[in-house]
């Protein structure tokens, strides 16, 4: 009996200690008195570092570097992203481990959402930062290098809004006994495209599901404008077609998109897209993907992009800042406009550019999508106009948030009042509850892309091929069904790959490359990436929010060489989220003397 009682007490103690939010400080985000300026800590400054269990190695390196430079460190390690976000939203941190991948391949995306005042993911409000972001957005690559250099310096050394850690490579392991590795893409920026993937034995396309993996199982939203994170980027990329796409090395193309061609008008304000007429929306009936009978067309494009750029079109809009450069979206029905507008940076007209490679030249522009007939030369053309010259708009139009949704379907679901939206009673388009197995299941999705999500649970999400997506073309999906397993831990995902439980793993840890390379049934694919890890400072009411000196003391404690050594040279130095895209020449060098100086100035404030 004594042993059982002791075990019960020990288990109870473990439950209490494991609780994420227990104290008033934890819940409200208030700091306990003396936490920062040395109350009870031998006069040392205490820094609370927030992260997830998957980032524990990075947290330990940062902790050791801070301790070496005279700080005390409190680790706040959360088991998953949802718990991490709750802690971050509550302000329970001084510095938080963060990361960003520029999935659009352009530097504006690497800064606008994160650092511009009012940005979707920004805690910064700095007029100089805003000016530099806007200035760079109107410049060509030859011009914007110096502007982004100045922006980085403002973000890092002048104000210490972030502390960069490293730039990652991108690597995935592929089961070459099951999949043809040549069909599995590894793009620098965009999420993986499932439609190209094929089995070695093509006879299994209908009977065997492609099994993929992702870490996050709680999906932000299946409405493409309401999410921009690792839970939905790949899923929405494969569910919604866009006006353009990115190649594996970040070039804008029409391949695999809704447009046959695109062209930029003289002055770089007007962007024209000639639409395909061979894609219909799919829906789910009786657990299968079926044709809705509704073509994807110009009215859906205008509707989708107008709501994408309107902050108030949906509650909790996560991607509006990516599309705020857009002024107007319209359907062009006057053929003479295409003939009279000159092509940017070259000779010829917009019409000539749009007609390149078409089976039939343009004879008529139609406003009704059901009247489009490319074989007869009847096409739909969309014109996107930007507020200022902004060639990088094309990269944003390739992002998953610019996915084309059904105007008819979304309007039929989103009947709530946006200003008075109530999450407890209003079910918006794309809410994961509608695809979750059980009493809440009521799949209302319409997919314009190659796949549609059929159902999900806590362990996986099941997708089916859109039967009316580019049927008969090289872009028709090869494999009929895709299962995405939710495996949070990278080591567990790698084990699942090696055991044949998943067919590929996008995200092989740098320290485990050799395990894949030495496995006879696997192949390691590796590429540069736009992923950057960095520390973000609390911008609320903690001392790091108020004191540049304290932030700079943390900044100069960071030694990037130690990260590179830990990851066996499979990381690169970074200065900001722009680092993988623009060579600014900036570099962060750890400096204990500066740490000591800034700490002294902070404690004297």
Quickly list H helices, 97-177. Answer: 107-115, 127-137, 141-153
- Sheet containing 259-264, strands listed edge to edge, beginning at the edge strand earlier in sequence: 259-264, 270-275, 381-386, 326-332
d(Cα 329, Cα 305) in Å, to the nearest integer? 7
Task: Report d(CA 247, CA 540) in Å as an integer.
Answer: 40
Band of pLDDT at residue 20, cut at 50, 70 and 90: very low
> Which tokens go with 374?
């490319």
Calculate what percentage of the chain has a pLDDT beyond 90: 83
How is residue 392 written in tokens? Answer: 């990088």
**Is residue 189 very low, low, confident or very high in pLDDT (cuts 50, 70, 90)?**
confident
User: Distance (Å, rounded) from C-alpha 63 to C-alpha 80?
Assistant: 20
pLDDT band, very low/low/confident/very high, at 143 (cuts 50, 70, 90): confident
* pLDDT score for 31: 42
pLDDT of residue 141: 81
pLDDT tops 60 at residue 204: yes
- Number of helices (H) and strands (E) in the chain: give both, helices first: 19, 21
Predicted local distance difference test score (pLDDT) of residue 13? 35
CB count in 10 Å sphere of residue 510: 17
Q: pLDDT of 286-306, one tens digit each?
A: 999 999 999 999 999 999 999
**CB environment 12-37: b (16+ within 10 A), e (fewer):** eeeeeeeebeeeebbeebbbeeebbb
Pick from 41-50, 306-315, 439-448, 554-563: least confident: 41-50
The model's confidence at residue 36, banded by pLDDT at 50, 70 and 90, is: low
How long, in residues, is the chain?
605
pLDDT at 30: 43
What's the 3-state SS for 3-18?
HHHHHHHHHHHHHHHH
Looking at every residue in the chain, the average pLDDT score rounds to 91
591-593-594 Cα angle (round to 5): 70
pLDDT band, residue 560 (cuts 50/70/90): very high
Residue pLDDT, tens place only, 242-287: 999 999 988 999 999 999 999 999 999 999 999 999 999 999 999 9
SS (H, E, C) 158-225: HCCCEEEEEEEEEEEEEECCCECHHHCCCCCCCCCCCCCCCECCHHHCCCCCEEEEECCCCCCCCCHH
Query: Is pLDDT above 90 for 321?
Result: no
Over range 178-190, report the average pLDDT.
94
d(C-alpha 54, C-alpha 77), whole Å: 9
Q: What is the mean pLDDT of residues 357-361?
A: 96
Q: Can you give the pLDDT at residue 228?
A: 86
| 49 pLDDT above the threshold of 60 | yes
Alpha-carbon gap, residue 378 to 276, rounded angstroms: 11
* pLDDT for res 38: 45
> Does pLDDT of 41 surpass 80?
no
Domains of the chain, start order: 20-168+529-604 (3.10.105), 179-498 (3.40.190.10)
**What is the rounded distance in angstroms from the CA atom of residue 343 to the CA atom of residue 475?**
28
Query: Whole-angstrom Cα distance, residue 96 to residue 85?
Result: 10
CB neighbour list of residue 233: distance below 8 Å, 6 or more residues apart = 103, 191, 227, 400
Gyration radius of the chain over CA positions: 25
Beta bridge partners of 275: 259
Per-residue model confidence as pLDDT tens digits over 454-484: 999 999 999 999 999 999 999 999 999 999 9
Residue 51, phi then psi, degrees to nearest 5? -165, -175
User: Which two three-digit tokens encode residue 438?
Assistant: 């059980």
- 82: pLDDT confidence band, cut at 50, 70 and 90? confident
User: Greater confidence, 576 or 189?
Assistant: 576
pLDDT band at 9 (very low <50, low <70, confident <90, very high): very low
d(CA 581, CA 267): 25
Does 351 or 19 have the greater pLDDT score? Answer: 351
- Nearest residue to 480 (alpha-carbon basis) of 212, 183, 201, 206: 206
Q: Which residue has the tokens 């004297």?
A: 604
pLDDT of residue 113: 87
**Tell me, what's the pLDDT at 42?**
74
322: CB partners within 8 A, 6+ apart: 104, 109, 112, 113, 120, 228, 308, 396, 399, 401, 402
Helices within 285-334 (DSSP H only): 298-309
**Cβ–Cβ under 8 Å, residues 45 and 602:** yes
**Residue 593 CB-density burial (10 A; 0-12 exposed, 13-18 middle, 19+ buried):** exposed
The first and second tokens of residue 230, run together, are: 């690792």
Residue whose C-alpha is closest to residue 186's, from 176, 196, 201: 196
Q: Quick check: 1 pLDDT over 80?
A: no
Q: What percent of the chain has pLDDT over 70?
A: 93
Tell me: pLDDT of 29 over 80: no
Q: Which two tokens stand for residue 221?
A: 């939203």
Residue 160 Cα distances to 87, 157, 448, 521, 547, angstroms: 22, 5, 43, 46, 10
Please determine, for residue 326, whether its predicted confidence score (pLDDT) is greater than 80: yes
C-alpha triplet 206, 212, 218: angle, nearest 5°: 120
Residue 483: exposure state from Cβ atoms within 10 A (0-12, 13-18, ≥19):
middle
Task: State the Cα–Cα distance between residues 519 and 517, nearest whole angstrom.
Answer: 6
Angle in degrees, 0-180, between the axes of helices 592-604 and 548-555, rounded to the nearest 10? 160
């Amino acid at each position: 009996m004594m042993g059982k009682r002791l075990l019960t007490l020990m288990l109870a103690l473990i439950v209490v200690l494991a609780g994420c939010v227990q104290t008033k400080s934890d819940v409200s985000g208030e700091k306990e008195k003396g936490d920062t300026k040395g109350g009870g800590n031998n006069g040392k400054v205490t820094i609370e570092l927030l992260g997830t269990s998957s980032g524990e190695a990075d947290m330990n390196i940062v902790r050791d570097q801070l301790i070496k430079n005279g700080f005390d460190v409190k680790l706040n390690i959360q088991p998953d992203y949802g718990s991490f976000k709750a802690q971050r939203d509550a302000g329970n941190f001084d510095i938080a481990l963060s990361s960003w991948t520029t999935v659009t391949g352009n530097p504006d995306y690497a800064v606008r959402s994160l650092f511009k005042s009012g940005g979707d993911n920004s805690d910064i409000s700095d007029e100089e930062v805003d000016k530099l972001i806007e200035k760079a957005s109107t410049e060509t690559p030859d011009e914007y290098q110096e502007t982004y250099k100045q922006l980085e310096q403002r973000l890092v050394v002048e104000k210490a809004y972030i502390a960069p850690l490293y730039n990652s490579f991108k690597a995935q392991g592929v089961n070459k006994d099951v999949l043809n590795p040549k069909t599995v893409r590894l793009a620098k920026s965009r999420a993986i495209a499932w439609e190209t993937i094929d089995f070695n034995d093509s006879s299994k396309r209908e009977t065997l599901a492609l099994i993929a993996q992702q870490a996050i199982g709680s999906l932000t939203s299946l409405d493409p404008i309401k999410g921009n994170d690792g839970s939905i980027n790949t899923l929405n990329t494969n569910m919604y077609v866009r006006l353009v796409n990115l190649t594996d090395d970040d070039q804008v193309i029409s391949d695999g998109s809704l447009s046959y061609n695109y062209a930029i008008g003289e002055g770089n304000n007007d962007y024209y897209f000639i639409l395909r007429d061979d894609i219909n929306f799919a829906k789910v009936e009786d657990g299968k993907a079926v044709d809705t009978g509704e073509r994807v067309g110009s009215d859906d494009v205008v509707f989708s992009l107008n709501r994408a750029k309107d902050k108030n079109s949906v509650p909790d809009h996560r991607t509006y800042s990516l599309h705020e450069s857009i002024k107007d979206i319209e359907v062009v029905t006057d053929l003479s406009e295409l003939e009279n507008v000159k092509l940017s940076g070259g000779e010829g007209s917009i019409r000539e550019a749009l007609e390149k490679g078409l089976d039939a030249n343009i004879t008529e522009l139609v406003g009704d999508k059901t009247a489009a007939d490319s074989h007869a030369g009847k096409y739909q053309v969309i014109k996107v106009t930007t507020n200022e010259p902004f060639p990088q708009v094309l990269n944003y139009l390739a992002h998953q948030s610019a996915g084309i949704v059904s105007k008819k379907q979304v309007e039929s679901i989103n009947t709530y009042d946006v200003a008075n939206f109530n999450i407890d009673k209003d079910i918006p388009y794309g809410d994961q509850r509608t695809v979750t197995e059980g009493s809440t299941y009521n799949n209302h999705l319409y997919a314009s892309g190659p796949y549609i999500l059929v159902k999900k649970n806590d362990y996986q999400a099941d997708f089916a091929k859109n039967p009316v997506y580019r049927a008969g073309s090289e872009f028709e999906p090869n494999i009929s069904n895709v299962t995405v397993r939710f495996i949070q831990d990278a080591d567990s995902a790698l084990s699942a790959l090696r055991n044949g439980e998943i067919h590929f793993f996008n995200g092989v840890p740098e320290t485990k490359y050799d395990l894949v390379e030495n496995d006879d049934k696997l192949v390691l694919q590796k590429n540069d990436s736009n992923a950057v890890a960095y520390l973000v400072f609390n911008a609320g009411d903690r001392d790091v929010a108020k004191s540049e000196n304290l932030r700079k003391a943390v900044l100069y404690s960071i030694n990037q060489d130690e990260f590179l050594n830990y990851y066996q040279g499979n990381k690169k130095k970074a200065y900001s989220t722009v680092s993988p895209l623009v060579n600014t020449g900036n570099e962060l060098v750890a400096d204990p003397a500066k740490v000591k100086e800034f700490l002294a100035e902070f404690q004297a404030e």
